[in-house]
Amino acid sequence: MSETAFSIPEDLIQAIQISSFERQLPKQGDPCVHRYLMDSSNETLQKPVEEWIEYQKSLWPKVDEVVARLHSTNNDSDHPWVYTSWWMSLCMPWSSDLNEAIRSAEEWCDAQSP
């Protein structure tokens, strides 16, 4: 039985590359992903990388929910949350701070409710 070759999603690699050049962007990827990219023959890193990728993907529906909540919480066309520290991380699916950005956005929405 042949094994399927493990590969890191191309958009994750691109996100890491872009954030390495643009210091204003939130950190992308996890240290295990960075180490694996430097040494893809290291099989011990494969499982943590796969787990991190799947964990990030599991957060994406939560991002959709909280972004919808942001828009329903505030009808202002200015969208004041775009000036928060967590907004950019929330917009980047491979952000290492994605879970924290989701929590911060939920807290922001809670604070807007009367």
pTM of the predicted protein model: 0.86
For 26-43, what is each residue's pLDDT tens digit? Answer: 889 999 999 999 998 888
88 touches 98 (CB < 8 A): no
User: Hey, where are the domains in the chain?
Assistant: 10-112
Task: Compute the average pLDDT of residues 34-53.
Answer: 92
Q: For helices 98-112 and 46-73, what crossing angle results, to 10°?
A: 20
Per-residue pLDDT at 23: 77
Whole-number CA gyration radius for the chain: 17
Per-residue pLDDT at 4: 52
pLDDT(3) > 60 = no
User: Using CA atoms, how far apart are residues 113 and 61, in angstroms rounded to an integer?
Assistant: 22
Buried b (16+ CB within 10 A) or exposed e, 29-48: bbebbbebbeeeeeeebeee
15 touches 22 (CB < 8 A): no
